[in-house]
Amino acid sequence: MRLTEEQIRQFDEEGYLFLPDCFSPEEVAALRLEAVSIYDTDRPEVWREKSGSPRTAFAAHTYNEAFRLLGAHPRLIRPVEQLFGEQLYMHQYKINAKSAFDGEVWQWHQDFGTWHRDDGMPEPRAMNISVFLDEVTHINGPLMIVPRSHKHGVFAAGHDLSTTSYPLWTLDNDTVTKLVEAGGIITPVGKPGAMLMFHGNIVHGSAGNITPFPRKIVYLTLNAVSNYIRKPTRPEWIAHQDFTPIVPVADDALLQYAQNYRQAAE
């Protein structure tokens, strides 16, 4: 899959791109079942909310075949290669959950700020590209993005170690207010299988989920190989140190897996 010139222009100007129909219901159904089974495991890669509900599962591509295939899927890899003009490696991989009733906030932040401070990533030549596993609506904790905020570089941030179970470099209220006054807030929402990609410096966050409707989103953090991290401080399963370029699988690899998965269950 290649981006059009108009999509490239939009990404450069707005800092994000949303494609509502990237993966089929069959592909997503298999991923959703696998995500639930991963959340049920007791492994260090699975972080939980203070309530005990799952918050995120790291590095699923290293121990689950469905997510390995997604992590090398050409519909995700090729557009980012196109924007960066070089091959990519997986800097981080996570399945973020907003559990029904118990999903906590993700405070306002920039991803590159964390990658730079905690991992020694030199430049914002990495980005998150995500796939919705559940329907994401305006009420169940969607990602909120401040368009064009990536144009301002990296902001000062404080290391929030207490608000949630996951430490995060967060922005102060005054900074966020000024950015929102200039650019507004958008909330990409859509059905399972939608894809969202956004610049490493875009300011974003999400509110808690107190609805009965869970939402799960997979995030691949794809980094240009030349931009590999220099001073990692976090565990390898959070910030990967294997800089081998990703070789995309066949476009139908995940669909074949899903069909085999369904047949085995019947």
Domains and their CATH numbers in the chain: 5-105+125-135+190-199+206-265 (2.60.120.620)
**Letter for the amino acid at 52?**
G
Model's pTM, two decimal places? Answer: 0.94
Percentage of the chain surpassing pLDDT 70?
A: 98
- pLDDT-derived band at 36, boundaries 50, 70, 90: very high
- Kindly give the pairing relationship between strand 203-206 and strand 106-109: antiparallel
CA–CA gap between residue 72 and residue 47 (Å, rounded)? 24
Residue type, 70: L
Please give the mean pLDDT across all residues of the chain. 95
Two tokens, residue 169:
């470099």
Using one digit for the tens of pLDDT, what is the confidence trace for 145-154?
999 999 999 9
pLDDT of 266: 61
Provide the angle, in degrees to the nearest 10, between the axes of the packed helices 74-84 and 5-14.
70
Kindly report, residue by residue over 219-236, the tens digit of the pLDDT.
Answer: 999 999 999 999 999 999
**pLDDT exceeds 70 at position 239:** yes
